Chain A
Amino acid sequence: MTNTHVDYQLSQLDQLEAESIHIFREVAAEFEKPVLMFSGGKDSIVMLRLAEKAFYPAKIPFPILQVDTGLDFPEVMETRDNWVNRLGVRLVVASIDDAIANGVVVDDGKTSRNRMQTGTLLNAIEENGFTAAFGGGRRDEEKARAKERVYSHRDEFGQWDPKMQRPELWSLYNGRLHAGEHMRIFPISNWTELDIWDYIGREGIEIPDIYFSHQRRVFERDGMLMTETPLNPLRAGEVAEERTVRFRTCGDITLTGCVESTASTIDEIIEEVAAARVTERGATRGDDRFSEAAMEDRKKEGYF
Chain B
Amino acid sequence: MGATDGQMDLLRFATAGSVDDGKSTLIGRLLYDSKSIFADQLEAVEKTSTDKGHGYVDLSLLTDGLRSEREQGITIDVAYRYFATPNRKFIIADTPGHVQYTRNMVTGASTADLGLVLVDARHGLTEQSRRHAVLLSLLRVPHLVLCINKMDLVEWSQETYERIHSEFTQFATKLNIPDLEVIPISALNGDNVVDRSENTPWYHGPTLMHHLEHVHVASDRDLVDTRFPVQYVVRPKSDEHHDYRGYAGLVAGGVLKKGDEVIVLPSGMTSKISGIDLFDREVDEAFPPMSVTVRLEDDVDVSRGDMIARVKNAPKPSQDIDAMVCWMTNEPLRPRQKLAIKHTTRTGRAMVKDIQYRLDVNSLHRDQEAGELGLNEIGRVQLRTTVPLLCDPYSKNRTTGSFILIDEATGVTVGAGMINSGS
Contacts and interface: CB of A to CB of B under 8 A. Distances in A.
Contacts of B236: 57-59
Contact of A10 (B40, B224, B289, B304): B289
B171 interface: no
A21 interface: yes
B414 to A, nearest CB: 9
Interface in B269-293: 277, 279-280, 287, 289-291, 293
Contact of A28 (B2, B81, B232, B279): B232
Interface string A67-102: 000000000000000000000000000000000000
A222 to B, nearest CB: 13
Contacts of B3: 6-7, 9
Nearest to B104: A167
B241 A172 contact: no
Interface in B374-412: 398-399, 402-404, 406, 411-412
Interface string B59-72: 00001111110000
29 contacts: A6-B3, A8-B287, A9-B2, A11-B4, A12-B7, A16-B10, A22-B231, A29-B304, A57-B236, A57-B280, A58-B244, A59-B238, A139-B80, A139-B82, A146-B63, A146-B65, A147-B65, A167-B104, A167-B413, A169-B402, A170-B111, A170-B398, A172-B343, A172-B404, A174-B412, A192-B89, A277-B39, A279-B41, A282-B38
Interface residues of A, number: 65
Interface string B7-50: 11110000000000000000000000000001111001000000
Contact of B231 (A19, A29, A56, A293): A29
B177 interface: no
B404 A169 contact: yes
B176 interface: no
B7 A13 contact: yes
Given A144-B65, A169-B416, A279-B41, 17 more contacts: A8-B287, A9-B3, A10-B9, A16-B10, A19-B289, A25-B232, A26-B231, A57-B240, A57-B280, A139-B82, A146-B81, A166-B412, A166-B413, A167-B413, A169-B402, A171-B111, A278-B38
Contacts of B302: none
A260 B408 CA distance: 54
A176 B406 contact: yes
Q: Which residue, B240, B255, B404, has most C-beta atoms of chain A within 10 A?
A: B404
B413 A190 contact: no
B170 interface: no
Contacts of A52: 279
Interface of A: 1, 3, 5-19, 21-22, 25-26, 28-29, 52-59, 139-140, 143-144, 146-147, 162-163, 165-172, 174, 176-178, 189-190, 192, 194-195, 276-279, 282-283, 292-293, 296
B234 A58 contact: yes
B255 A170 contact: no
A71 B387 CA distance: 52
Given A55-B234, A296-B67, A170 B399 contact: yes
Given A57-B241, A144-B66, A147-B77, A192 B8 contact: no
Interface string B226-262: 0000011011111011001000111000010000000
Contacts of B149: none
Nearest to A22: B250
B79 interface: yes
Contacts of B10: 12, 15-16
A190 B82 contact: yes
Contacts of A172: 342-343, 402-404
Contact of B411 (A15, A165, A174, A276): A174
A5 B291 contact: no
By Cβ-Cβ distance, the 9 closest A-B pairs, closest first, are A176-B411, A282-B40, A11-B7, A12-B10, A58-B236, A21-B291, A277-B39, A18-B291, A146-B79
